[in-house]
Amino acid sequence: MKAFLFFAATLVALAISAKPPPNPYPIVGNTADVAATLDLGGPVYDLGGGGYDVDMAFQKTIDLVRGCTGSSCATKIDVVIVRATGTDAYNPYIYSMNGVDSCQTLIISSVTQASDPLVNTAIRGAEFVFFAGGDQCQYVTYYKVRKI
């Protein structure tokens, strides 16, 4: 009986001291949803990946989504980058642009990851979703609706 109580107490102590697993999709910037009210009625999806990054094009899209330009405009947005491979190197680049409240990269390499509730929440909370290019067949494979 003493061994069982010791084992149970050890399990409780481990459960209390255990840290939650790290977010596999870290956010740069404000972790709270900015929940911007936009005239566009939902997130803007940019399927323009696969080439050189053009700062002016990114900033113009961000300003379009915000509905204003310049640093005097208080509206900020959350940006999500979707990738099938690669890193989160876009995060600091996009976050440094005017009007970005947060930036998060989702590296999705399976149907299981594409179905992750964290992915769903991130995309639904974003005002601007950028698909970073790569093999477009992977996006279709991971995201297409399957009939059961």
Partners of residue 128 on adjacent β-strands: 44, 79
pLDDT of amino acid 146: 54
Provide the residue ranges of all domains of the chain, joining segments of one domain with +: 21-143
pLDDT of amino acid 11: 37
Q: Is the pTM of this model over 0.85?
A: no
pLDDT of amino acid 139: 76
pLDDT of amino acid 126: 92
pLDDT of amino acid 76: 92
pLDDT of amino acid 133: 75
**Cβ count near 69 (within 10 Å):** 14
pLDDT of amino acid 148: 47
Closest CA to 128 of 86, 67, 72, 84: 67
pLDDT of amino acid 9: 39
Q: What type of residue is 5?
A: L
Under-50 pLDDT residues of the chain: 2-20, 148
